[in-house]
Amino acid sequence: TCKVNFPDPNKLHYFQLTVIPDEGYYQGGKFQFEIEVPDAYNMVPPKVKCSTRIWHPNITETGEICL
């Protein structure tokens, strides 16, 4: 299950995503991400940060995501 929240409805390029898996290893967890899509999107990737402390090989201890 995913939920999207726009803290500022005038800034649609910045939003928060909450993911609550209903199956798999992370089932029952609640994970929050902050996403900012730059104006130069498509040439520049979105900035994504995990706000929830989690161990994952693609997420650093400070929440930066390596894809």
- Among 40, 43, 66, 67, the active-site one is 66
Note the pLDDT tens digit of each residue in 37-64. 999 999 999 999 999 998 889 999 999 9
Res 30: pLDDT: 95
pLDDT > 80? residue 28:
yes
pTM: 0.84
Which residue segments constitute the domains of the chain, with CATH numbers given? 1-48 (3.10.110.10)
Supply the DSSP string of 1-67, one letter for each residue.
-EEEE-SSTT-TTEEEEEE--SSSTTTT--EEEEEE--TTBTTBPPEEEE-S---BTTB-TTSBB--
Burial of 50 (0-12, 13-18, 19+ CB in 10 A): buried
Largest CA distance in the chain: 36
Annotation says 66 is catalytic: yes
